Structure 1
């Protein structure tokens, strides 16, 4: 029996409501499984398409053959879109990445079995038995101050990630968070690059004076995909690239391809160093990536370095060559000088920089004796053994 228009309308409403309910559940699942960026919108498109095809079918619009062609074409387009997305993601994930969050710091933890932390080979002349200092710092410097702790702290389990108060003696929260913890008194000493202007202002607002004690030297390096024919840049070219006035690799002797110049998050040690190199030049906006957050929705963050053929990135030598080493990345010479321990020691490498043990008025009586020991031959030996260049 042929249905009336009102019956078709009612069936259409029920069908669309059922599809909408199923789509809501599917979208909720994709949001919590990390698919909000692509599969969330795809779910909505599929739901809208199915709802439209359902209404067409209920009202008997077009012939059955045409409706089947429409359904199969729509399904094919959705599958092609999903396949294209997965292929693209597989390619991106295959690229080497320089991202501090990717490094497992537990392999450098003091006293851990098979730790990579450097060892003196004998008992240090200075030992801490009480009033242990709370240490924090940059990811790239964790292996160093972990080695300091291993030399002078009593043997125990010191986890690199903050678990709870009273267990945070040798942790690593990264440069920006470490400065915050130092300023608020949650850390006694942090190991990091010099503070950014924002971090200096934050300390002044809190009535805290930051004291920087140089304990070693390091090279600030730039790197590209190993297949990039460019092997050297000048200081001025670096400034031009990161100010946005030099945009193509062909302008510096490479292939014709736009330069994808990655940056780091604000207040990270390496981003602060880049800002100092730029001096009064305005940094261009960094490449961004969208990240899905269930509570905040889609948020845009500074993209981590991905080793595209046209990529340019930066970090510190030890981190880029040892902690996050990749044979797919090539370190660039600057002004014709390659980054190495020899060029750091001689001062010939233009972007040689000191790193610091930073304090902010801690009342712990062991602060100064510990700093003195770091600058002693034993402490400087650990700087050398870790892979950095001593200041003494």
Structure 2
């Protein structure tokens, strides 16, 4: 009797060791959704071995009962990973954009960068302004760089011309890592940071863009009123049937705080409080788990928002459709004519740089030639070319 007990104890220690190693692996690789299933499988395996050692399965009834219990436990533990895999299979709209296609002076057919038909009236050779900006605006300021800067490699992540998210671009501007950024207007939180650091932000309008809302291509809703959008994101409208769609609850996705599109939503909502954003748990370094704003997933009942150019030109996702707002489609023509109700300017922003070429560069950007390039890229210029 002692031998089986000792064997069971040693087996338990071995399983605890290997289970611990396995759990650490799942944590570090972000596969946290499989932890309940792994634990359940290990526990059932141990119980099965111990029962075999002590000859518990000496009747068919006991074997059948254990099999049923084990099956129920495994199925229950598999629900979370199965749901996670299903969610992961649903496409996201904020897909990774290949910024290399817009990198200045890229040679070959892969390049999507717009160019002028003539030489630029400004040529910079030294003391190049350091630039950062939002991903959606990279095709534009990369085109400015190719027109004005000297020919060389400009790594998008480590050079005078970088591309980041809007929050990171503002951080780099505030810390003095860059001289200028191309982005939407700062959020209230970003304005407070600038004021606290004693920085005076100078915003020069470069072009105009539409703030757009999109839904799954299969959603029968093609247009919404501005008030309906506000009520959806305030949590007052919760079902698509309230706005002429199917009887499905609305999944209203949001973007991280201080991103350009989230700031756009805050401006749109005004004093109306925005409902809490859907969150999801994600794995962080060293096995930690943090809660982040959920990525947009293209459920049939989902709604999200972004900017027109990023959606139509950079991502080009055919599984979504842009909604008309107050009966107006978001196009370059309706942005130019001010018919589209939520069009706004985007800017080149500085915070007290001492680089002597920054002002020259901004003057050229707002000149007829610079504004012509805004048009060629696909945005709406603030001045007619």
Superposition TM-score tier, normalisation by shorter sequence? over 0.9
How many pairs align? 381
Give 1:254's aligned residue: 245
Q: How far 1:385 moved relative to its partner?
A: 1.1
Structure 2 unaligned regions, length at least 5:
none
369-378 or 83-92: which moved more? 83-92
Note if 1:378 corresponds to 2:357.
no
Change (3 A) 1:74 1:127: farther
Aligned partners of 1:15 and 1:344: how far apart in 2?
A: 70
Aligned partners of 1:387 and 1:259: how far apart in 2?
A: 32
Q: How does 1:1-392 map to 2 (within 5 A)?
A: 3=1, 6-36=2-32, 38-63=33-58, 65=60, 68-69=63-64, 88=83, 91-99=86-94, 102-113=96-107, 114-162=110-158, 168-295=159-286, 297-392=288-383
Contact 2:213 2:322 in 1 (8 A): yes
Aligned partners of 1:364 and 1:235: how far apart in 2?
A: 43
Change (3 A) 1:228 1:126: same
Contact 2:30 2:282 in 1 (8 A): no
Q: How far 1:326 moved relative to its partner?
A: 1.1
Aligned partners of 1:59 and 1:154: how far apart in 2?
A: 80
Q: How far 1:355 moved relative to its partner?
A: 0.1
C-alpha distance after superposition, 1:29-64 (max 9, x if no partner)? 33333322x223322221222222233233333426
Structure 1 unaligned regions, length at least 5:
163-167
C-alpha distance after superposition, 1:300-329 (max 9, x if no partner)? 110111110000000000011111111110
Change (3 A) 1:261 1:373: same
Q: How far 1:75 moved relative to its partner?
A: 6.7
Aligned partners of 1:268 and 1:111: how far apart in 2?
A: 28
Q: CA RMSD in A?
A: 2.1
Aligned partners of 1:353 and 1:12: how far apart in 2?
A: 70
Q: How far 1:362 moved relative to its partner?
A: 0.4
Q: How far 1:12 moved relative to its partner?
A: 1.9
139-148 or 297-306: which moved more? 297-306
Contact 1:265 1:271 in 2 (8 A): yes
SS, match of residue 98 in structure 1: coil
Q: How far 1:85 moved relative to its partner?
A: 6.5
TM-score (norm 1): 0.91
Contact 1:248 1:256 in 2 (8 A): yes
Aligned partners of 2:85 and 2:359: how far apart in 1?
A: 51
Contact 1:57 1:67 in 2 (8 A): no
Contact 2:26 2:35 in 1 (8 A): yes
TM-score (norm 2): 0.93
Aligned partners of 2:147 and 2:115: how far apart in 1?
A: 7
Change (3 A) 1:211 1:58: same
Change (3 A) 1:74 1:19: farther
Give 1:165's aligned residue: none
202-211 or 285-294: which moved more? 285-294
